Amino acid sequence: MENTNWWYLKLTKFFLDQHGCAKNQVDGELIINRLVKRGMQQTFDENEADLIVINSCGFIVSAKEESINAVIESRKNHPNAKILLAGCLAERYADAFRDDLPEADAIFGNGDLSKLDEVVTDIEKGHRPVLTPPQKGVCGGDRDMLLAFSGSAYVKITEGCNNNCSYCAIPVIRGELRSRKASEIVEEIKSLVNRGIFELNLVGQDLAAYGTGREDDVYGEGSSPLNCADGKASPLSRLLEDISKIEGDFWIRLLYIHPDHFTEDILPVIARDDRILPYFDIPFQSGDNEMIKKMNRKGTAEQYLSVVNKIREVLPDCALRTTFLTGFAGETDAAQANTRKFLNDISFDWSGCFPYSKEEDTPGYKMKKQVPEAIAKARAEELELLQADITKKRLALRCGKEYDVLIEEVVEPSEENESEGLAIGRAWFQAPEVDGNVVVQYDRDNPEELKAVQSGRLVRVKVVSSGAVDLDSVFVSDSPLNKNRKETDMDFAELRINSEARGESQTE
C-alpha cells in the first residue's frame, strides 16, 4: 500500500546521472536548477544522494541500454535512495516502464520540466508517479550549474522536429517542431555573456527550421515558410541579426542544420560578424540519391554539394561537420560507394559515421531489405577511416597559424618536470565533445603564462604540429578577447558526455 503521509520522507540531496545529446544536457541543467530552488542540495557523490535522477537517452539501442543499465545499477548499489528516471527514455517508454522497470521510483517525461516539483512531492509522499506532460513549447529557465567546461554553454532554440526522417524517432519522443521567441533567446544569451560565458552553441534538431513550426510566432508575426518565398529573411537569419546586436566578445556556434532547409541568407550575417562562427554541422547522412530519398529527405547529393559550395564561396575558411548513417534498409555496395565519393568530394573537416539502429515506431523499422548489422558496422568503419585521412590533411593546413583557444582543462604537471605546462582547449573550428582539441604547451615558471592559462579563459597560441584528431600548439599571449569579459560566476560540473551514446546518427 502507498503511504500518503506527507512526512513519510524528505529528500534533501540529489545526484544527476546525465546521458544523451546537447539538447538533453540543457534539460539536465534545468532539472538541477529546479531541484536546487526546491531546497535540495546537489551532490557529485552518488553515495550521498537520497534522490538519484537519471536523465536518460532513448534514441538508439545502445543509448537505451546504457540508460536502463544506469537505473538497474543505481538500484543495486543504492537500495535506500529514490531513483527518478527522466529524459527521452522515460518519455518514450513510460507506459511500459510502469510495470517493467520496478527499479525506478518515478518516471518523468521531458514535455514540461516545470512539473518536476509535483513528481518529487509524490515521491516524498510514498507514491510512484509516472508522468509525461504534453510536448508543448520549449522548456527554459535559469541554469546556474552547467554540465560543460568552464566558459561554454548550449542554448536551445527549438524543440521537436517536423522532418520525419524515416529512420528517426525524434518526432515520436519530442513531438512536432516548436521554437522559442527570439527575444527570449537573445535575453538568455545576454545573460550568459554577462555572467562570463564566452562560447554559446545554439542547438535544436534543425536550426534552419527555427520559427516555422505550426504554432510558432517568434516575432509576433506568425510562422514563416521554410523557403522564405515571401521575400522576407528567414527567422534564423533574423535571429542571428538580433544576436549580432549584442555587445561584447563571444562566440556563437550553430549546431545541426538540416540540409534540405539550409537558409543561405544566414551566410552574409555570419560574414559580417566574426563572433558568429563559420562552423556548420549539416548531417547529410548519405551521398546516394536513392538512400537519401528512402530516408525521406527531399534533396539530392548534387543539391547538397551545391549547398557546401555556396557556403565556401561566401565563407572560404569555414569548418564543416556532418554525419553519415550506414546500413539503412536497402543500402547496397553501390550506394556506399556513392557516399564515399560524396565524402571525398566535399572533404569535411569532421564527420561522424554510425551504423543504423532499427527503431520501432519509425517507417524504417518495417522497411524491407534490412542490412545485416555487421555490414552496417563495417561500412561505418570504412567511412571513419576515410574521414580520418581527410581530417589529418585538413588539420595539417592549420600548422604555423595562430588561433584563440578556449581552455577546457589544465593538466597537472608531472613530478619529473613541474615547469612544463600542458592544457587542453578548442579553437573556433572545434565544437565541444565531438571534434578534436588543441593541446597548449606553456611555461609554468612564467607568471604571465601561468596566470593566463586557466579553464574558461582564452589564450593566443601558435599551432606547431598536427595529428589525426588534435593539434599541438605553444602559448603566444593572453587573448585580447579576455579584455572585456566578465569573470564567470557560474558553476560548471565539467562532465564529459559519451558521444557514442548521443544518438547523433539518427537524430539530426
The span from the CA of 303 to the CA of 160, in Å, is 25
Query: From residue 366, how far is each of 1, 259, 358, 363 by CA, in Å?
Result: 42, 25, 9, 6
The span from the CA of 486 to the CA of 172, in Å, is 41
Q: Which residue has the cell 553519415?
A: 324
pTM: 0.92
pLDDT of 59: 81
Query: From residue 355, how far is each of 56, 181, 289 by CA, in Å?
Result: 21, 36, 18
Encoded amino acid at 96, one letter: A
pLDDT of 500: 38
Q: Which residue has the cell 551504423?
A: 355
- Identify the DSSP state of 144: S
Encoded amino acid at 318, one letter: C
The span from the CA of 68 to the CA of 76, in Å, is 13
**Residue-level pLDDT, tens digit, the chain, 508 residues:** 344 454 568 999 999 999 989 999 999 999 999 999 999 999 999 999 999 999 999 888 888 999 999 999 999 999 999 999 999 999 999 999 999 999 999 999 999 999 999 999 999 999 999 999 999 989 989 999 999 899 999 999 999 999 999 999 999 999 999 999 999 999 999 999 999 999 999 999 999 999 999 999 999 876 555 545 566 899 999 999 999 999 999 999 999 999 999 999 999 999 999 999 999 999 999 999 999 999 999 999 999 999 999 999 999 999 999 999 999 999 999 999 999 999 999 999 999 999 999 988 899 999 999 999 999 999 999 999 999 999 999 999 999 999 999 999 999 887 777 778 999 999 999 999 999 999 999 999 999 999 999 999 999 999 999 999 999 999 999 999 998 888 888 888 755 443 333 344 444 4
pLDDT in tens, 279-292: 999 999 999 999 99
The candidate with the shortest Cα–Cα distance to 70, out of 39, 103, 36, is: 103
Pure H helices in 289-372: 289-294, 301-314, 333-346
pLDDT of 228: 54
DSSP conformation letters of 52-67: EEEEE--SSHHHHHHH
The span from the CA of 362 to the CA of 342, in Å, is 26
pLDDT of 499: 35
